[in-house]
Structure 1
Amino acid sequence: MRAKELYLHTSNRIESLAERLVEVSREDPLQGLLEQETVMTLNPGMARWLRFQIARSLGVSFGWEFPFPGKFFQSIFAGFEPTHPETGILDENSARWELFDILDNLEDRPEFALLNRYSEPSSARRLQLASRLAWLYDQYLLYRPESITDWESGRDSNDWQAEIWRRLCERAFPNTGRPQHIARIWQQLKASDPNHIRPDSARWPSRISVFGVSSLPPLYLDIL
């Protein structure tokens, strides 16, 4: 197995970056017959455009996959056993509906007064708030993972965000109340003895390209 290396290609023209991506695949083709080039992009529009550029250069774009960050890093963690779970993943869409129900059943407590006042008039406003909270918690997982794990440990008991998060975990994961989200898995890996971590590199792509991304959360950068 060859050593893992990181290369950075920059340009003020995205077309030049696409050309360089194709050149790399030609100069250093993957060894496996069925292996796919893995290119992480941030949105479907970029993935479609890049697939078109590759097809123009190579004639076809078969053998290329374009995962988004969430799916991509989930597959990276799948290479760690037994740390990575088969279940226990909390995604933003399912969290939205759990939060919608939680908001509909909040007690009349001072810390919930603002939430109740906003969401009580209509279910549409409650769904809007639930969607916003689901997005916010997803951002916390990436940018403030320590806050999430502190909340799960029972700290900040008077913080409504912490209380709502704990209720969300209890509803989504009634057996444990502790979902194996990306922040927790990464902390477990960092705290583990490197000699006891047994990565299954066969589950990882041979080459990973990150295209058209100007910034990433620190947690993602650590993983890369």
Structure 2
Amino acid sequence: MFHLSFSNRFEILLDALLEGLAAEQPGPFGQRQVVIPSSALRRKAELAVADREGVCANLRFDYLAQWLWQQIGRVVPVPERSPFSPALLAWRVYVLLDPADARGAWVAAHPRLGRYLEGADARMRLELATRIARVFDHYLTYRPRWLEQWAGGQGSVLEAGASALEREDEAWQAELWRRIREGLALRQEHPAQAFLRRVTAMSRDELAAVGLPASVHVFGLPALPPLYLDMLRELSRVVEVRLYVLNPCREFWFDIVDARRLSWLAVQQKDMFFETGNSLLAAWGKQTHAHIGLLFEGQHAVEEDAAFAPHPGRHLLAQLQNAILDLQELAPASVRLAASDRSIEVHVCHSRTRELEVLHDRLLGLFRTHANTPEALRPSDVVVLMPDLEGAAPLIEAVFGTAPPARRIPWRITGLGGTRESPVAKVLDQALQLAAGRFPASRVFDLLQQAPVAARFGLDESGLETVHDWMQAAGVRWGLDGQEGEGAPSAQHSLDEGLHRLFLAWAAGGAAQQASFAGRIGAAAPEGQAALALG
């Protein structure tokens, strides 16, 4: 069964998920399976289940690609982990891009790629390989037919009007894809395609015999690639597949377009079946529009239920959400703002760092405004969305991680590309990256936070927080001892100097902060059991 649950409110969808999970009785050794888009949403679901049932147990959370790969393995022989995952594929691409290696000799036939690689060092080549691996991962998900044509040498997938540069880029990508497939000794058919073909030909009894789960709950995904959706539909013949989808509007809004697009259609005399509706929804709702439209595409049996509810508030954000819900346009000057209404704010900042600083100040203000009230806001209630999380991650550490204790906000970054690599291998990789750089304090602390390293030194979360505060108090910025070579940072802010100041404070106590010893002033106040982390 393929079942869709729609709502404009996250809380309503979460309640529907909890009710669906509570209705399942897998037994003490069974598992209820939930597919989520992020670790933050997983944590929210775990806490909600614990509140509802008293304990969060018999639950298995997976990302959609991981869960589908497990089901493919029940029907088609595949390795435990997809060889096409970007983390693995990047290294295969890296080898194939090395002109000095015999496997990279093919690059000479593609001048555009070759010119870039001529001036590229190993780090630049790895960066390019990582980006190519991600692009191929997207091709596998959204453009599998392109890869099929390339693998079979069936010519170009580009349109007739493509430029010469585009065709040159396609040529080396197609050649690279063929060499990747040869290196993996793959069949002409991708495992996902083989899975779909076999499952389509299998009877219900045969499908039930391969050990597929009884049900799966797909919760809160903002988009579904067509290939993954086709696999879910085929699985729904014997697996109860329940999708929980956010839909901002309870009206039929699939014929709305933004005003500029409508004007263009009018000139072409093609505007008969289109309207503007809510302009904000028409302009910013395109991904959701495509996502929901795809769920109903084709001749497939679908069970559907919907629970929409207007926002009960009267502030500007509530009125805007309710206008979208009813597919109405808020007339200009139709909303009278209360003096305290700050439900929607626009801050114009000169840089991403300044944006984060303003965000930090604004959050502190919100926490203080609602402190000791029924509407008290906690850090765990706040989620911050960013368009380029990977690029902003170091800046988040610089702003939120260096705040003094009185202004400290607990924070965590979720949504960065995660892997299922060995934790020890991940630590080794980070250590090698550190050795090739200037040992910035944020990277050193990131290494210390890794589970194997923290366990080796007996550091729990509070211990790590203490070490973080010590590093800040001791002025550690980068460098081991300031002797890393030309262009190295000053020893004054190195890790070695910071440790000297911390040990001095531990040995001399408060006196070390009143007078200098051997030209140093003590930092922080390591004492008691907490000082064990210094050793």
| TM-score above 0.5 | yes
Q: Which has the larger radius of gyration?
A: 2
Q: Is the 8 A contact 2:33 2:61 kept in 1?
A: yes
Could you list the per-position Cα deviations for residues 123-165 of structure 1 after superposition, in whole angstroms to 9, with x for gaps in the alignment? 2221111111111111111111112122222333882111101
Alignment equivalent of 2:21, drawn from 11, 19, 25:
25
Show the counterpart of 2:134: 135
Show the counterpart of 1:166: 178
Structure 1 residues 167 and 22, CA, compared in 2 at 3 Å: closer, same or farther? Answer: same
TM-score, normalised via structure 2 length: 0.36
Kindly provide the amino acid, as one letter, of the partner of residue 113 in structure 1.
P
Kindly provide the amino acid, as one letter, of the partner of residue 56 in structure 2.
S
Kindly provide the amino acid, as one letter, of the partner of residue 77 in structure 2.
P
SS at match of 2:5: coil
Percent identical residues? 29
Q: Which has the higher contact order (CA 8 A, sep 6+)?
A: 1
* Greater mean alpha carbon deviation, residues 48-57 or residues 200-209: 200-209
SS at match of 1:215: coil
Structure 1 residues 183 and 77, CA, compared in 2 at 3 Å: closer, same or farther? Answer: closer
Shift of 1:204: 1.8
Alignment equivalent of 2:69, drawn from 60, 74, 91:
74
Aligned counterparts of 2:123 and 2:210: Cα–Cα separation in 1: 46
Q: Is the 8 A contact 2:196 2:231 kept in 1?
A: no
Alignment equivalent of 2:110, drawn from 103, 108, 112:
112
Show the counterpart of 2:193: 184
SS at match of 1:203: coil
Could you list the per-position Cα deviations for residues 86-138 of structure 1 after superposition, in whole angstroms to 9, with x for gaps in the alignment? 33942221110010111113447676222233333222221111111111111
Show the counterpart of 2:227: 219
Q: Is the 8 A contact 1:111 1:159 kept in 2?
A: no
Kindly provide the amino acid, as one letter, of the partner of residue 78 in structure 1.
G
Q: Is the 8 A contact 2:28 2:58 kept in 1?
A: no
Aligned counterparts of 1:24 and 1:196: Cα–Cα separation in 2: 24
5+ residue gaps in structure 1?
none
Aligned counterparts of 2:14 and 2:139: Cα–Cα separation in 1: 32
**2:59 equivalent to 1:93:** no
SS at match of 1:204: coil
Structure 1 residues 7 and 187, CA, compared in 2 at 3 Å: closer, same or farther? Answer: closer
Corresponding pairs, count = 212
5+ residue gaps in structure 2?
157-169, 233-535
Aligned counterparts of 2:12 and 2:131: Cα–Cα separation in 1: 37
Structure 1 residues 75 and 177, CA, compared in 2 at 3 Å: closer, same or farther? Answer: closer
Q: Provide the aligned C-alpha RMSD in A.
A: 2.8
SS at match of 2:222: coil
Q: Is the 8 A contact 1:75 1:204 kept in 2?
A: no
Show the counterpart of 1:65: 60
Show the counterpart of 1:126: 125
Shift of 1:179: 7.5
TM-score, normalised via structure 1 length: 0.81
Aligned counterparts of 2:95 and 2:143: Cα–Cα separation in 1: 25
Aligned counterparts of 2:116 and 2:7: Cα–Cα separation in 1: 46
SS at match of 2:4: coil
Shift of 1:64: 0.9
Aligned counterparts of 1:202 and 1:130: Cα–Cα separation in 2: 37
* Greater mean alpha carbon deviation, residues 114-123 or residues 61-70: 114-123
